């Protein structure tokens, strides 16, 4: 049972601050970035449900070969072409980046076999600073070349269609787009859909229901050429920098957010401390809700709103954002790859009878930070449980998806943000795949609505132009 703390935070305290008060709910990247962008103009308090700012909750220690490292879950990789806002933010915060080798092996794994079997594998090579990909010896076959040709034809057509303004890709699903084109089915089902399922952390059905322009926009923005990177220190290098200049209250579950009955310009936020179960009420001038979409809806619905009320509309629209659950295991069990020495940094297990692939990243092959340690894997969607003794951590996540319908709801939510003192923020609020860049983009939009200057817009640097894409595709999906 919760107890209500009678010491409601005093409005007079707020009055002491010259700046208007603002709460951000949720310390994922969207909330962290929003709080950081808003802190100069507002007295910001960030509420986070977990005991530490959200991005870092699932980071584990890894000790092997006498070396100690930290491993984020998920790894949070990104690429220049699709992440202009994230790159600009990290560059501004002076966050060191590390490139990654995400060459992949595609495998099948029959129940009777001890280990998976590879059907397609490629490797990356760096020559004079330029990356090239080549087929592994085990894939130099008629089937291997057909897959490569399938990829070549797909990307050629995709780029042509994306460049054609008359092709209304925003009104059809990716599934319809595939049906309309006679692409190589093996490439689509064995390589492309598994790679996209990992990028979007969802089932194949989820990918097929995405708006076609979002998927094609991702695939043709240079993601295949730019190479994959991550923040070198992971969350440990980001959170201390992005939490400067405002208050962070962790272990606080925000339960409801609603305008005060007697003063519609002030917002009451009710939060429950997870350690003490004490419920406390706070007043703010503005609130940015940056939790997952379903939780944002619950926080708004917890207070009674009239149906026509903007917050009732926000809560209703938030129910249109589809979500999928998935889980991830961090472990050291090498039996999930066909052969440890010949394995790629990324190993897919593809079985078309299953709704999504299983994918493992061997951190020691993907990132130089871990290269001298014993193999350690992050496996998304485990289909054969690693040995119990090899498991370091496991975690479930929810991830929003985009459909033609949810995109309409998001456009309405974006409109309502402009008129509401309670604003909705998150990776699902941008018109792109809900990845880290979308989280930052959403916070940038809110900061602009609230009159803040975006530091990387102040200079002559225009992030989008500056980080212009090279849309030639030479690579295989990773």
Binding site for ligand FAD (CB under 6 A): 25-31, 47-50, 54, 74-78, 201, 253-254, 290-292, 295, 326, 328, 380, 397, 399, 426-427, 434-436, 439
| Closest CB 264 distance from ligand FAD, rounded Å | 23
Nearer to ligand FAD, 161 or 283 (CB): 283
Q: SS3 of 223, please?
A: helix
| Closest CB 141 distance from ligand FAD, rounded Å | 31
Nearer to ligand FAD, 29 or 195 (CB): 29
| Closest CB 289 distance from ligand FAD, rounded Å | 9
| Closest CB 214 distance from ligand FAD, rounded Å | 14
What span, in angstroms and rounded, lies between the C-alpha atoms of 374 and 232? 19
Pair 87, 80: CB distance under 8 Å? yes
Pair 293, 413: CB distance under 8 Å? no
Nearer to ligand FAD, 118 or 346 (CB): 346
Nearer to ligand FAD, 330 or 350 (CB): 330
| Closest CB 31 distance from ligand FAD, rounded Å | 5
Q: Which residues make Cβ contacts (< 8 Å) with residue 396, sequence separation at least 6?
A: 325, 326, 327, 328
Nearer to ligand FAD, 42 or 380 (CB): 380
Largest CA distance in the chain: 75
| Closest CB 60 distance from ligand FAD, rounded Å | 14
| Closest CB 443 distance from ligand FAD, rounded Å | 8
Q: Give the full edge-to-edge strand order of the sheet including 252-259.
A: 3-4, 278-284, 267-273, 252-259
Pair 35, 46: CB distance under 8 Å? yes
> Strand 346-349 and strand 358-362: pairing?
antiparallel
Nearer to ligand FAD, 22 or 25 (CB): 25
Nearer to ligand FAD, 253 or 360 (CB): 253
Angle (CA) 329-335-338 rounded to 5° is 115
What span, in angstroms and rounded, lies between the C-alpha atoms of 328 and 376? 13
Per DSSP, the residues of 449-470 read HTTPPPHHHHSS--HHHHT---
């Amino acid at each position: 049972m919760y107890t209500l703390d009678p010491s409601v935070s005093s409005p007079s305290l707020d009055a002491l601050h010259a700046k208007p008060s603002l709460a951000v709910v949720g310390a994922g990247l969207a909330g962290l970035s929003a709080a950081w962008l808003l802190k100069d103009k507002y007295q910001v308090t960030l509420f986070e449900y977990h005991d530490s700012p959200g991005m870092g909750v699932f980071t584990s220690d890894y000790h092997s070969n006498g070396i100690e490292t930290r491993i984020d879950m998920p790894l949070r990789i990104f690429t220049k072409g699709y992440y202009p806002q994230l790159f600009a933010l990290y560059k501004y915060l002076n966050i060191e980046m590390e490139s990654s080798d995400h060459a992949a092996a595609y495998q099948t794994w029959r129940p009777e076999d001890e280990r998976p079997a590879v059907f397609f594998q490629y490797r990356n090579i760096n020559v004079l600073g330029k990356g090239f990909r080549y087929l592994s010896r085990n894939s130099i076959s008629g089937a291997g070349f057909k897959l490569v040709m399938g990829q070549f034809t797909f990307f050629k057509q995709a780029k042509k269609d994306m460049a054609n303004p008359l092709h209304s890709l925003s009104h059809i699903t990716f599934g319809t787009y595939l049906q309309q084109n006679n692409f190589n089915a093996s490439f689509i089902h064995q390589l492309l859909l598994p790679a996209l399922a990992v990028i979007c952390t969802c089932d194949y059905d989820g990918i097929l229901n995405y708006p076609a322009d979002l998927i094609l926009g991702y695939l043709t923005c240079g993601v295949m050429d730019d190479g994959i990177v991550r923040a070198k220190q992971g969350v440990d290098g980001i959170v201390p920098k992005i939490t400067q200049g405002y208050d962070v209250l962790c272990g606080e579950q925000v339960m409801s957010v609603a305008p005060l009955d007697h003063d519609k310009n002030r917002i009451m936020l009710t939060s429950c401390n997870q350690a003490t179960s004490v419920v406390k009420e706070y007043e703010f001038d503005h609130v940015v809700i940056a939790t997952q979409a379903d939780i944002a809806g619950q926080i708004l619905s917890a207070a009674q709103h009239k149906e026509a009320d903007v917050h009732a509309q926000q809560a209703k629209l938030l129910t249109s954002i589809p979500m999928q659950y998935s889980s991830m295991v961090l472990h050291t069990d090498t039996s999930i790859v066909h052969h440890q020495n010949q394995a790629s940094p990324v190993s897919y297990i593809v079985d078309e009878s299953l709704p999504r692939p299983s994918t493992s990243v061997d951190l020691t092959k993907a990132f130089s930070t871990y290269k001298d340690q014993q193999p350690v894997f992050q496996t998304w969607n485990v289909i054969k449980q690693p040995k119990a003794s090899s498991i370091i951590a496991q975690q479930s996540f929810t991830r929003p998806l985009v459909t033609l319908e949810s995109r309409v709801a998001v456009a309405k939510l974006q409109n309502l943000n402009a008129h509401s003192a309670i604003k909705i923020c998150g990776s699902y609020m941008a018109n792109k795949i809900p990845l880290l860049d979308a989280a930052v983009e959403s916070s940038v939009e809110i900061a602009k609505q609230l009159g803040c200057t975006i530091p990387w817009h102040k200079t002559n640097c225009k992030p989008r132009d500056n980080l212009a894409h090279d849309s030639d595709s030479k690579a295989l999906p990773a």
